[in-house]
Amino acid sequence: MAIFYSRSAEETRSWAEGYARTLRQGDVVLLEGEMGAGKTVIAQGIARGLGVREEVTSPTYAYVNEYGGLFHFDCYRVADEAQAYALGLADYFERGGICLVEWGENIRSLLPAGAKTVRIAGSGEGVREIRY
Ligand SMILES: Nc1ncnc2c1ncn2[C@@H]1O[C@H](COP(=O)(O)OP(=O)(O)O)[C@@H](O)[C@H]1O
Ligand SMILES: [Mg+2]
């Protein structure tokens, strides 16, 4: 486990860009932290590191946004694991891409063993602590 302290959203994106280079096809990364901590900012940096040119925003209507072989989940509004399963969310983990999952807590039983975790703590304009 390592810790990175970030003083700005851009610093978090830059860190995540580097972190992206440690990822391999098929990896599932759980982005953990409170609302507003910076999970989506991390997803933006990872996407940049993987060469995604589209703007990465939080999936709102859909639960998953797809950028080539990168899948970005936001499971905040998933009611329960049965609903997530019915929506086919588990299928994405079998597709061989890289999956970034916000609020994976809500679909715990569907998550593959061996998922990686990045936890970001802090709020507002304050410093963030990123554990990975
Ligand atoms: N060091 C930092 N790292 C990440 N985000 C930061 C940082 N400092 C301030 N922010 C701000 O915090 C907010 C994080 O939002 P977001 O990534 O959508 O949170 P989450 O997805 O965890 O709910 C953004 O408005 C971002 O600009
Ligand atoms: Mg988010």
36 lines ligand 1 (CB under 6 A): yes
Q: Give residue limits of the domains in the chain.
A: 3-131
- C-beta of 5 in contact with ligand 1 (< 6 A): no
Indicate whether 60 pLDDT > 80.
Answer: no
Q: What is the CATH number of domain 3-131?
A: 3.40.50.300
3-class DSSP state for residue 67?
A: strand
What the block records as the tokens of 48 is 């940049």
Cβ contact 64:89 at 8 Å: yes
Q: Is the CB of 79 under 6 A from ligand 1?
A: no
Q: Whose CA is nearest to atom 3 of ligand 1?
A: 9
Record the pTM. 0.98
Structure tokens at 42: 């991390």
To the nearest 10°, the Cα dihedral for 123, 27, 69, 128?
10
In one letter, which amino acid is 43? Answer: A
Q: With bands split at pLDDT 50, 70 and 90, how would you rate the model's confidence at 59?
A: confident
What is the mean pLDDT of the segment spanning 105-114?
96
pLDDT (0 to 100) of residue 21: 98
Reading the block at residue 33, the tokens are: 């932290």
